Amino acid sequence: MVRGIEKREIFIDDRDRTAFVDRLSRLLLKTGTDCLAWSLLSNHVHLLLRPTKLKLADMMRRLLTGYAVVFNLRHHRSGHLFQNRYKSIVCDEDTYLLELVRYIHLNPLRAGLVSSMRQLDAYQWSGHSVILGHSKLLGQVSDEILAMFGAQKGRARKLYRAFVADGIALGRRDELVGGGLKRLLKLSAMNGFETYDERILGSGGFVEGIWHESEPPHTDEPLLAPPIHEIIERVATVFGVESSSLCHGSKQTRISKARSLICFIALKRFGYRGVDISKILGISRSAVILAAERESTLSTTIKAAFDLFPEMYDKAAVAKSETEGS
């Protein structure tokens, strides 16, 4: 999802739209990226992409930077065109592919750019018309979508169109564009909650799998990191609690806050694995990740971590930056 800065228009006319779509098509072919759905609105774009060769970030950088340069030259403007970085969500294809195709292709209708399914069928700035055979976009894998509705292309298109039309009554579906937090709020009152991540659309098992793939290799003791029991002892001292009380899943406010700080320091600053932290603290791995992510947004947490480990904190940050090539 890409939005114009300050919600401004990124497409003034069809010449702009053509420039964007042509660039998208060229890059899809050049980078080996599959496009399964797309739609252009006045001030934002939705894309459903499946990289096969080049990383998504590289492809998107070339797409957005190139378009912004052309747009600024044509319209005699300067400065940023897009609002920050594009928003991306990893999706479980088996579960969400068709739902996302439908949601993205209905965007022009929800936004009022067209007023009916018939007009949407002919709307050339969406992958919907490509799947129906009314327009073309090299790089869009429309046959793959149609194959899910049948082997005979004509009948498959009718079934696909009916599937899209059925989605009109569903309205805006926030759960398809980052609704992980909503799932958490609904489930957190229960005994536990399904693993979630707002950047990932899928089941708890799928989220865990993505986390596992992106987790750094295990080492017995992270570089420059203090033993985890020392982290626990220092945090316990600051919060005025017994270190043993932090390792039994207590939900008391002071204990919970101290445990969250431990998760942040151990996971985010010193590279301990979530699974190892969870075993020591007596909470689930997903709870460790959740606590660390939540605490990473708080300036008070950053200051507390610095105060607790002044002799090692900067060294760990430098080592991490060097590892990432920063």
Q: Tell me the two tokens of residue 24.
A: 């998208």
Q: What is the DSSP secondary structure assignment for residue 55, as one 8-state letter?
A: -
Residues 100 and 232 occupy one common structural domain? no
Cα gap 167→101, rounded to integer Å: 11
Which contiguous run of DSSP H or E holds residue 90?
Answer: strand 90-91
The confidence score (pLDDT) of residue 307 equals 66
Q: Tell me the two tokens of residue 104.
A: 């993205």
For every residue of 28-43, DSSP letters joined together read: HHHHTEEEEEEEE-SS
Does residue 248 lie within any of the structural domains? Answer: yes
Residues 12 and 145 occupy one common structural domain? yes
Give average pLDDT by consecutive 10-residue segment, the chain, 326 residues: 89 95 95 94 92 85 91 90 77 73 93 94 95 94 91 93 89 56 40 50 54 50 67 86 82 87 85 86 85 76 67 43 39
Distance of CA 30 to CAs 58, 62, 91, 125, 314, Å? 12, 11, 23, 21, 41
Does residue 43 lie within any of the structural domains? Answer: yes
Residues 81 and 161 occupy one common structural domain? yes
Cα gap 252→221, rounded to integer Å: 30
The confidence score (pLDDT) of residue 303 equals 66
Does residue 255 lie within any of the structural domains? Answer: yes
Q: Which amino acid is at 180?
A: G
Does residue 221 lie within any of the structural domains? Answer: no
Does residue 88 lie within any of the structural domains? Answer: yes
The confidence score (pLDDT) of residue 306 equals 67
Does residue 175 lie within any of the structural domains? Answer: no
The span from the first CA to the last CA of the chain, in angstroms, equals: 26
CATH number for position 38? 3.30.70.1290
Angle, CA 24 vertex, CA 46 and CA 106 arms, to 5°:
30
Cα gap 143→79, rounded to integer Å: 39
Cα gap 37→208, rounded to integer Å: 26
Cα gap 186→198, rounded to integer Å: 14
Residues 17 and 162 occupy one common structural domain? yes
The confidence score (pLDDT) of residue 318 equals 38
Which contiguous run of DSSP H or E holds residue 77?
Answer: none
Residues 112 and 162 occupy one common structural domain? yes
Does residue 219 lie within any of the structural domains? Answer: no
Contact of 165 with 118, CB cutoff 8 Å: no
Q: What is the DSSP secondary structure assignment for residue 52, as one 8-state letter?
A: S
The confidence score (pLDDT) of residue 1 equals 85
Task: For residue 216, count other CB atoms closer than 10 A to its CB.
Answer: 10
Which contiguous run of DSSP H or E holds residue 267?
Answer: none
Residues 65 and 197 occupy one common structural domain? no
Residues 155 and 275 occupy one common structural domain? no
CATH number for position 257? 1.10.1750.10
Residues 127 and 254 occupy one common structural domain? no
Nearest to 134 by CA among 122, 118, 120, 117: 122
Q: Which domain holds residue 53?
A: 2-170
Residues 6+ apart with CB under 8 A from 319: 223, 224
Residues 48 and 98 occupy one common structural domain? yes
Q: Tell me the two tokens of residue 147.
A: 């194959």
Provide the number of structural domains found in the chain. Answer: 3
Residues 94 and 240 occupy one common structural domain? no
Task: For residue 113, count other CB atoms closer than 10 A to its CB.
Answer: 17
Residues 150 and 200 occupy one common structural domain? no
Distance of CA 76 to CAs 62, 72, 297, Å? 21, 6, 38
Residues 208 and 279 occupy one common structural domain? no
Contact of 187 with 286, CB cutoff 8 Å: no
Cα gap 225→240, rounded to integer Å: 23
Does residue 52 lie within any of the structural domains? Answer: yes
Query: In 3-state terms, the chain is what percent helix, strand and coil (to 5)?
Result: 60, 10, 35
